[in-house]
Amino acid sequence: MMENVVLEMRGICKYFPGVRALEQVDFTLREGEIHALMGENGAGKSTLIKVLTGVYPKDAGYVTLSGAPVHIKSPQDAQNIGIATVYQEITLCPNLTVAENMYIGRTKGPFTNWSKINSDSDRLLQELGIPARAKDQLGNCSIAVQQMVAIARAVDMDCKVLILDEPTSSLDEQEVQKLFKLMRDLKSKGVGIIFVTHFLEQVYEVCDRITVLRDGMLVGEYIIEDLPRVQLVSKMLGKDFDDMAEIKSDSDAEKVDYDGTPVYQAINLTGTTGIKPFNFEIHKGEVNGFTGLLGSGRSESVRAIFGADRVTAGKVMVNGRTVSIRKPLDAMRCGISYLPEDRKKDGIVGDLSVRDNIILALQVMKGFFKPFSRAQAEKFADEYIELLNIKTASQDTPIKSLSGGNQQKVILARWLLANPQYLILDEPTRGIDVGTKVEIQKLVLKLASEGKSVTFISSEIDEMIRTCSRLVVLRDGKVVGELKGDDLNQNKIMATIAGGESNDIQ
Amino acid sequence: MTSSKISARGFFGKLVRNQLFIPLVALLILVAINLFADPTFFKISLEPSSTGNLILSGNLISIIDNASELAILAIGMTLVTSASGGQDISVGATIAIAGSMVLRFVKMYSPDISGGKFAAVIIFSFLVCVVVSALFGAFNGSLVAFFKIQPMVATLILFTAGRSIAAWINNNDNISINDARFGYFGNFIPGIPIPTPVFITVICLIIIALVLKFTNLRLYAQSVGINASSSRLNGINPKLIKLLTFIILGVCVAVCGFIKVSRTSSITYSVIANNIEMDAILAVALGGNNLGGGKFNLTASVIGAYVIQFLTTTLFKFKVSSSEISAYKAVVVILLIFISAPVVRKWIADVRNKNLASRKSKIGKEAN
Amino acid sequence: MKKLVKMLVSSAVVGAMAFGLSACSSGTPAATQASAAAPANTEAETTAAPAVEDGGLIKVGIINNDPNESGYRTANDRDMKATFTEENGYEASFFYSLKNEDQIAAAQKFIQDEVDYLLISAAGTSGWDGVLEQAQKAGIKVILFDRTIDADPSLYEASIVSDMAKEGQQAVDWLASQNLSEYKIVHIQGVMGSSAQIGRSGALDDKVAAEANWSIVTQQTAEWSEETAQQIVQAVIDSGETFNVIYAENDNMAKGAVAALDKANISHGVGKDVIVIGFDCNTWALEELLAGNWNYDGQCNPFQASYIDDIIKNGVKEKVVIMDEKGFDATTITADDVANYGI
């Protein structure tokens, strides 16, 4: 059994100032297996990966690769001995082409045959079914494609160990399946794959083994068949967990008054970002969702509602009154809040403190010449840090040093503090841990029961079914259907997204 | 005992991480060097000046006096740096413009001055100079905010053309103002023993402190500098904020130009405020502010400005030729860049972490 | 659309500024008045233009340093512009730069334009041989003014220069004539390596080396800047050293130095504690002399145009023309001197 072990980590410790990130962690990876590394945010998954790939030096413990001890001092070292990594956040260069990104740092000698590299890249991209061409500039590709290029880069390097750190968080279902097929291919070739993810379904679909971490400590290593979902979740959380099914909406949908004046109504709203004119309305206390494949225009639609991108035509009414929303501040003044899809780029203001990030939107609405007093700001921050259970050392901690889930909670706090009547959440649960996901879903339902209207967008259809009472389905920038009631099930939604014969829903 | 040691280290660590640490240490080093070389450097005396008024004099007075323009500029430069992530290199040239404007109007109304309308003429000239400088600031700001030109490139235009414009304003005349009262603003007001520029600087600092307290300039500028896209989605207009910081810098420039020409009651277009832009940028850097924009600490920048003047005066005192002074400043720049380089930072952090970790494991063993 | 509006707005800002400026400059007294008072400017103007070309205007290309550089240069440029006019029979083109390469490029362009005369005040002394040879081949005559260059004298007709060393010598001789028992000098230099600095420093350095009772308290460059000069003198005063002469290599630096003296209550001028020496004869500096606040000002004659005009119209008399330059003593200067020689 032990002879086909490819990677062994024993007694790994890692400390940051004031934080014990890893304490005596063991990890074993065998040839030809897909091994899930699970844990809540801050459990130490990313740190373990970074120690393994030489980003951080370890403070104690040892690592062997194929039985031989190795000392990995840098990511380059790791790459050279056959450990390839695809990180959660895209770490490629957006201003280079796809092919350049795939081969950067791997060309030998001063001369490079770019035409060969381009054709090689094109072939590999095609094999993997990645919709990009070698000469495309990476920054112009969607996040999903960028992520897949990163994987293609890693795959193309002969590796014994492939680390995938949250690779699927920005991929849609079909893309995930392509990735899984690829992972199984690699597995059959004997590559050991470490798969870090928050998606339980994906773990059970593709993995052989699970290692669970909690608070920087090893909880245990399990064979997948021996560990039912509920147990996995409770091991991750360290307590008995009321299963996600619990939050299954006691559907407030009936309470929504669909005949009254909509809180927000758009007629023929047209933007410049490639979406067709669309009509949309949402009522008091309603939770609806926009769904569709990546690039279907679901994010673009809500951005148009918020005035984040330029709106060229259309009539907008808030509580029955015609308003003009040309920029985000207009929308904010109408009581609309928007939590953007790309947390890092559009959400957080990285170097600012948690407090400043929380008060930002309300402060801007209040006005340039009316700053909150320090005491008032601290009160707001305290209130929401407690309300949303945000884990931060202090209010003054820069938001960028928080974990992804907690960053998202801060942004959520920002918009809750602005006390909107209509809250748009674009992928609020992406890349955050299971516990926080459930918290956010519960929060959405709670807000709706308090009479707020919420638009909830998620790549996970499960989540949408659980939280939304109505789904707007988009395809190619066009609204192709609206589902509610009994139609809200996985099959119907998939069929509508995919199109074809089920178009008659309308 | 161990815990007290750790907290002491915690305090030290906090101190080291404080943005005021670098400029204050630099100041202390300069003080120490001067104390060692010649303690009389710090002598301050109260003596009558040629006009018969008692005035304070001494190296320290010269330093706080001569650093005034730089300190005022550091305010605007810090804000511009924060919001736009770049620097305005045209301030020296626009100071020439501002100074030239003031001289032009004071000269034009010199009959009125002798006619007793001194205050009115000065205030009018100063206000015109503020408006013009603010417009030039707006010009730079528009290029940066609306045309998205990098600040250094955008301000290169006025950097190149500014001194010619300044000369053109006065038809290249070598102007000199004879009224002694015009010199009050750059020297001493009769009866007050402290140089006037010091008061002007204090007023500017109070004004900016009030602005930062009673508006959201700090929050907005920092947000825009850190993440413009995110700021926009929170209702801030990043372009307007960038423009605003350049206009504020323009006003700072106007004040500096006014002080500069008042010091000698004359102007040399080609060399007035020569290289002051580099000193202003250095002050911002010395204050530990990220030249790439974002968070800023104005106090640190202003202290940085005084450190630079302290260095300059020290070098004058040691009779270093003024053309060589820039070489010494270059050494400071090199040290700064070295200290703030990510590699060095990481190295320091690693050393500290290692110490922390070894202490922790020690404590763990003791517990066992 | 919105973008367009923004562009318009920002161009409006630019436009407004241009307007503001032009509004400011209107109402200025005519620029060229000053040079009318230039000395030795009246001769030779009556002679008719010689038969260069077909009796038309004489084409001259004038390459000068940036007029903003100093009051000296401003006066020089005005004098040139006032002399080489159509009324005087010239068609003049001007080029200004402080960079040698730019000047050489401009010279090449003037050669292509087939000017008759090339008048050059070179920013640097070297690199001119090639372009002067081109000029010679093209039959273009070259006259240097204000600055000399390192080139074969056969390549140019004449050069009209100030003798900076002589200016310095005159000032130092004057200083020596004051018969002080001891000379403790604060020497404020111009940009190091400039011919004015070399000439004016040289005379003083020699004298200090030769005389036992002459000493330098500090010798530093303020690079023609009054503020730097002020800071240098301030530092000397703050350090407690005594001195009785300020030898500043131009008027602006002397002015900065005097500002520092005033602050520290050190009296200066005729019969006072510190002797103040400046150069260039700015009008305001001569007025200081007249008022007895300064002691001596050395002239650096910027009015070469009349000499050049004379050479073009009456032929070359000597290869190197050294201009007359005066030095003014505060005890003897008159209001007429200020009017005639102030720039």
CA of A350 vs chain B CAs: smallest distance (Å)? 7
Confidence of residue C32 (pLDDT cuts 50, 70, 90): very low
Point out the residue among B222, B235, B353 whose CB comes nearest to the CB of A365.
Answer: B235
Q: Tell me: pLDDT of B322 over 90.
A: no
C72 and C99 part of one domain: yes
Q: Cα–chain-centroid distance for residue B113?
A: 32
Q: Averaged over C281-289, what is the pLDDT?
A: 90
Q: Which pLDDT value is given to residue B6?
A: 43
- What is the C-alpha separation between A424 and A339, in angstroms, rounded? 6
Beta strands in A197-263 (DSSP E): 209-214, 217-223
- What is the C-alpha separation between C171 and C298, in angstroms, rounded? 6
Burial class (CB in 10 A: 0-12, 13-18, 19+), C58: buried
CA of B148 vs chain A CAs: smallest distance (Å)? 18
Is B139 an 8 Å CB contact of chain C? yes
∠ CA B238-B240-B243, rounded to 5°: 110
In chain B, what residues touch C233 (CB-CB under 8 Å)? none
Q: Averaged over C115-128, what is the pLDDT?
A: 88
Compute how many other C-beta atoms are within 10 angstroms of the C-beta atom of residue A376. Answer: 11
Q: Averaged over A216-228, what is the pLDDT?
A: 88
Q: Tell me: pLDDT of B137 over 80.
A: yes
Q: Which residue of B has its CA nearest to C250?
A: B268
Q: Are the CB atoms for B207 and B98 separated by under 8 Å?
A: no
- What is the C-alpha separation between C188 and C311, in angstroms, rounded? 37
Phi, psi of B290 (to 5 degrees): -75, 120
- What is the C-alpha separation between A249 and A289, in angstroms, rounded? 14
- What is the C-alpha separation between A278 and A459, in angstroms, rounded? 21
**Which ranges of B67-177 would DSSP assign to H, the alpha helix?**
68-84, 91-108, 110-114, 118-145, 151-169
Q: Is residue C2 part of a domain?
A: no
Q: Are the CB atoms for B273 and B267 separated by under 8 Å?
A: no
Q: Among A181, A114, A173, which residue's Cα sits nearest to residue A151? A: A181
Burial class (CB in 10 A: 0-12, 13-18, 19+), B4: exposed
CA of A398 vs chain B CAs: smallest distance (Å)? 11
Q: Which pLDDT value is given to residue A89?
A: 64
Kindly state the percentage of chain B with pLDDT values over 70: 89
Q: Which pLDDT value is given to residue B261?
A: 93
Q: Which pLDDT value is given to residue B96?
A: 95
Give Cα separations from C8 to A122, C4, C16, C53 (angstroms).
Answer: 45, 6, 12, 51
> For the segment A375-405, what is each residue's pLDDT rounded down to a tens digit?
999 999 999 999 888 888 889 999 988 888 8
Q: Is residue C4 part of a domain?
A: no
Query: pLDDT averaged over chain C?
Result: 82
Give Cα separations from B145 to B89, B311, C171 (angstroms).
Answer: 16, 35, 55
Phi, psi of C310 (to 5 degrees): -65, -45
Q: Averaged over B96-121, what is the pLDDT?
A: 87
Q: Which pLDDT value is given to residue A413?
A: 94
Q: Do B222 and A349 touch (CB under 8 A)?
A: yes
Can you spell out the DSSP letters for A256-311? S-TTS--SEEEEEEEESSSPPPEEEEE-TT-EEEEE-STTSSHHHHHHHHHTSS-E
Compute how many other C-beta atoms are within 10 angstroms of the C-beta atom of residue B327. Answer: 11
Confidence of residue A131 (pLDDT cuts 50, 70, 90): confident
Residue C254 tokens, joined? 């002397």
Beta pairing partners, A60 = A13
Q: Do A351 and B231 touch (CB under 8 A)?
A: no
Q: Tell me: pLDDT of A241 over 60.
A: no
- What is the C-alpha separation between A331 and B234, in angstroms, rounded? 10
- What is the C-alpha separation between C284 and B179, in angstroms, rounded? 12
Reduce the DSSP state of residue C298 to 3 states and report it.
Answer: strand
Phi, psi of A478 (to 5 degrees): -130, 140
* ipTM associated with this complex: 0.84
Confidence of residue A267 (pLDDT cuts 50, 70, 90): very high
In chain B, what residues touch A340 (CB-CB under 8 Å)? 230, 233
Average the pLDDT over each of A118-132, B218-232, B330-344 and give the range with the smallest value: B330-344
CA of A168 vs chain B CAs: smallest distance (Å)? 24
Q: Tell me: pLDDT of A198 over 60.
A: yes
Confidence of residue C36 (pLDDT cuts 50, 70, 90): very low
Is B36 an 8 Å CB contact of chain A? no
Residue A354 tokens, joined? 């948690």
Q: Which pLDDT value is given to residue B275?
A: 87
Q: Cα–chain-centroid distance for residue B283?
A: 6
CA of A145 vs chain B CAs: smallest distance (Å)? 22
Interface of A with B in 226-245 (CB under 8 A): none
> For the segment B239-263, what is each residue's pLDDT rounded down to a tens digit?
999 999 999 999 999 999 999 999 9
Q: Among B97, B67, B92, B115, which residue's Cα sits nearest to residue B273? A: B92
Q: Averaged over C40-68, what is the pLDDT?
A: 62
C114 and C179 part of one domain: no
Query: pLDDT averaged over chain B?
Result: 86
Q: Are the CB atoms for A316 and A323 separated by under 8 Å?
A: yes
| Entry pTM | 0.75
Confidence of residue B102 (pLDDT cuts 50, 70, 90): very high
Q: Averaged over B188-215, what is the pLDDT?
A: 93
Residue C217 tokens, joined? 């308290």
Q: Are the CB atoms for B282 and B292 separated by under 8 Å?
A: no
Reduce the DSSP state of residue A32 to 3 states and report it.
Answer: coil
Q: Tell me: pLDDT of A503 over 80.
A: no
Q: Does CATH place domain B2-319 in 1.10.3470?
A: yes
Q: Among B14, B86, B20, B13, which residue's Cα sits nearest to residue B298? A: B20
Residue B214 tokens, joined? 């009673």
- What is the C-alpha separation between B151 and B162, in angstroms, rounded? 16
> Strand A311-318 vs strand A264-271: parallel, antiparallel, or unpaired?
antiparallel
**Which ranges of chain C would DSSP assign to H, the alpha helix?**
2-25, 33-36, 71-83, 100-112, 129-137, 164-176, 195-210, 226-238, 251-263, 283-290, 305-314, 335-341
Average the pLDDT over each of A289-298, A343-352, C229-238 and give the range with the smallest value: A289-298
Q: Tell me: pLDDT of C314 over 80.
A: yes
Is B296 an 8 Å CB contact of chain A? no
Is C226 an 8 Å CB contact of chain B? yes
Q: Tell me: pLDDT of A251 over 90.
A: no
Q: Is residue C176 part of a domain?
A: yes
Confidence of residue C192 (pLDDT cuts 50, 70, 90): confident
Confidence of residue A169 (pLDDT cuts 50, 70, 90): low
C59 and C168 part of one domain: no
Q: Among A198, A164, A179, which residue's Cα sits nearest to residue A38? A: A198
> For the segment A433-485, what is each residue's pLDDT rounded down to a tens digit?
777 888 888 889 999 988 899 999 987 777 888 888 889 988 778 888 888 88
> Strand C117-120 vs strand C58-64: parallel, antiparallel, or unpaired?
parallel
Q: Which residue has the tokens 């920048």?
A: B301
The enclosing domain of C251 has a CATH number of 3.40.50.2300
- All structural domains of chain A with their residue ranges: 2-240, 249-335+421-506, 343-419
Point out the residue among B213, B215, B234 whose CB comes nearest to the CB of A368.
Answer: B215
Q: Tell me: pLDDT of A48 over 60.
A: yes
Kindly state the percentage of chain B with pLDDT values over 90: 51
Give Cα separations from A468 to A306, A448, C178 (angstroms).
Answer: 20, 10, 100
- What is the C-alpha separation between C249 and C300, in angstroms, rounded? 11
Is C194 an 8 Å CB contact of chain B? no
Q: Cα–chain-centroid distance for residue A287?
A: 20
Q: Cα–chain-centroid distance for residue A160?
A: 27
Point out the residue among B50, B142, B263 whose CB comes nearest to the CB of C10.
Answer: B142
Architecture in CATH of A2-240:
3-Layer(aba) Sandwich (3.40)
- What is the C-alpha separation between A193 and A183, in angstroms, rounded? 8
Q: Are the CB atoms for A251 and A469 separated by under 8 Å?
A: yes
Q: Are the CB atoms for B169 and C21 separated by under 8 Å?
A: yes
- What is the C-alpha separation between C163 and C298, in angstroms, rounded? 12
Is B271 an 8 Å CB contact of chain C? yes
Compute how many other C-beta atoms are within 10 angstroms of the C-beta atom of residue C318. Answer: 9
Confidence of residue B8 (pLDDT cuts 50, 70, 90): very low
Q: Averaged over C124-144, what is the pLDDT?
A: 89
Helix (H) or strand (E) holding B59: helix B59-66
Compute how many other C-beta atoms are within 10 angstroms of the C-beta atom of residue A317. Answer: 17
Q: Do A15 and B353 touch (CB under 8 A)?
A: yes
Kindly state the percentage of chain A with pLDDT values over 70: 90
Max mean pLDDT range (A119-133, A490-504, B100-114, C8-22)? B100-114
C60 and C184 part of one domain: no
Q: Which residue has the tokens 């106090």?
A: B299
Q: Averaged over B131-159, what is the pLDDT?
A: 95
C49 and C171 part of one domain: no
Point out the residue among A16, A351, A360 whose CB comes nearest to the CB of B234.
Answer: A360
Which residues span the domain enclosing C200?
Answer: 164-298
Q: Averaged over C279-301, what is the pLDDT?
A: 91
Domain boundaries A249-335+421-506, corresponding CATH code: 3.40.50.300
Q: Which pLDDT value is given to residue A179?
A: 79
Q: Averaged over A3-17, what is the pLDDT?
A: 85
Q: Is residue C13 part of a domain?
A: no
Cβ-based neighbours of C195, under 8 Å, separated by 6 or more? C147, C148, C164
Q: Which residue of B has its CA nearest to C186?
A: B319
Q: Averaged over B121-138, what is the pLDDT?
A: 95
- What is the C-alpha separation between C159 and C320, in angstroms, rounded? 5
- What is the C-alpha separation between C53 and C46, in angstroms, rounded? 19
Q: Which pLDDT value is given to residue C186?
A: 95
Give the number of B-C residue pairs with CB atoms closer than 8 Å: 175
Q: Tell me: pLDDT of B58 over 90.
A: no
Residue B83 tokens, joined? 């919001």
> For the segment A420-429, what is each residue's pLDDT rounded down to a tens digit?
999 999 988 8
Q: Cα–chain-centroid distance for residue B87?
A: 12
Q: Do B62 and C7 touch (CB under 8 A)?
A: no
Q: Tell me: pLDDT of C329 over 50.
A: yes
Kindly state the percentage of chain A with pLDDT values over 90: 30
∠ CA C217-C219-C220, rounded to 5°: 135
Q: Tell me: pLDDT of B18 over 80.
A: no
